[in-house]
Amino acid sequence: NEEVHTFVIAAGLAAAVIDMLRASRQFLAANNIATNGQLFLTGYSEGGYATLAAQKEMEENLASEFSITASMPAAGPYDMSSTIQYMVDQPTNENPELLGFVFKAYDYWYSLSRLDSIFQAPYASVIATYYDGTRSAGEVQSALTTNMTDLFTTTFRSEFLGSGETTFKAYLGLNDIYNWAPRTPTRFFHGQEDTIVPYTNATTALASMTSAGATDVSLVDCVAVPRGHEECVPSYLLEVTDWFGSLATDL
């Protein structure tokens, strides 16, 4: 019985990270493998979102079990509401397979059964069936269209960009994960020219967290040229390695 990956759904991604850490702890103990006791969290793109979702769950509900040394969420869509509004509003989207995946995951996990009213034919059936793990991102991309007027039904797009589609917007809102005050030293990393996950996700999170009282949250800008989503990965790897390396002890 197949399940759809919890693509940018906070609860599912946080649970996966936490389960992995618990399993790792058991494995290390069972095999008498020593650690230095520090926990670092980081990830890029959806991984950046998963990092912050896990950090939020740990700090708010599992603080006695997990003590995080430092966290670097990178290039993630922490403000899902604004990010999806932005994507739907664009005339063209070069990565419709990512946008389709968001709607497929939310439609599945929140039992909406809305794909036929959200997407036009033949794209509705593509999004309904192509995310089963047997097709590459490129295959899904090729089966969709980059034209948002053609991808979405006129009714859905106008309602979503207007005051309608309140139920779907509410589910996106459940997965906005920036409105809290981390206690862990946290550095966001993002490319200023990122067109896949807008840079405003990082600036919104930083402003919101600072306003909520966070005292050790900052934003590191990408130094690549151009400063796009994929181009910034090497810059991110250097930043996270340098920062975590400076904090690591007893290695």
Render pLDDT for 141-153 as a digit per residue (tens, 0 to 9): 999 999 999 999 9
State the pLDDT at residue 2. Answer: 73
Give me the residues of the chain with pLDDT under 50, please.
none
Sheet of 70-74: strands edge to edge? Answer: 40-44, 70-74, 186-190, 217-221
Q: What is the pTM for the complete model shown? A: 0.96
Task: Give the distance from CA 143 to its chain's centroid.
Answer: 24
- What pLDDT sits at residue 14? 98
Give the number of other Cβ atoms within 10 Å of residue 207's Cβ: 14
Query: How close are the terminal C-alpha atoms of the chain, in Å?
Result: 43
**What pLDDT is attached to residue 1?**
59
